[in-house]
Amino acid sequence: MAFPALTHVAVTVTDLESSTRWYAALFDAGPVLDEDEESGTFHHTVFALDGGMLFGLHTHSTAGPDDTFDERRTGLDHIAFTVGRDELEGWTRKLDDLGIAHSGIKHAHYGSGISFRDPDNIALEFFAPPA
């Protein structure tokens, strides 16, 4: 039995309105879902990405720690979006156009990528496997 692919990723954000605008600009698309979850414990805004993957933004009805994301803590390190190596320059230009700070294209033996962060400092990456 093959291990299944990811269907969605959901991140908790501090300012849903601001993060929705930021991700809508990055994805060049609006959310396909924006509602309170039926349990009433969180609100989710969801974007549909190519390949059938969903990317969700969550806010919770109860307060959590008042701090920002740090990949050095146990839990999530970063989220990477797969791209072709020939697409990296285009993504660099798009991030520049959106005013999103990034690492520029970095190359390693295992692939090439561009690292950047969302408004809550969540680490994101465009990643191209080696040819």
* pLDDT tens-place string over residues 35-45: 988 877 889 99
Give the start-end residues of each E strand in the chain: 8-12, 33-36, 42-48, 54-60, 79-82, 106-108, 111-117, 123-128
Q: Which fold has domain 77-131?
A: 2,3-Dihydroxybiphenyl 1,2-Dioxygenase; domain 1 (3.10.180)
Spatial CA neighbour of 59 closest among 18, 22, 30, 28:
18
Region 67-83: mean pLDDT is 86
pLDDT of 75: 84
Q: Given a cut of 80, is residue 65 above it in pLDDT?
A: no
Task: Please give the model's pTM, rounded to 2 decimal places.
Answer: 0.89
Higher pLDDT, 75 or 57: 57
d(CA 130, CA 125): 15
Contact between residue 13 and residue 31 where contact means Cβ atoms under 8 Å apart: no
Q: Given a cut of 90, is residue 49 above it in pLDDT?
A: yes
Collapse the DSSP code of 57 into the 3-class scheme (helix H, G, I; strand E, B; otherwise coil) and give the result. strand
Domain 1-61 listed as CATH 3.10.105.10: no
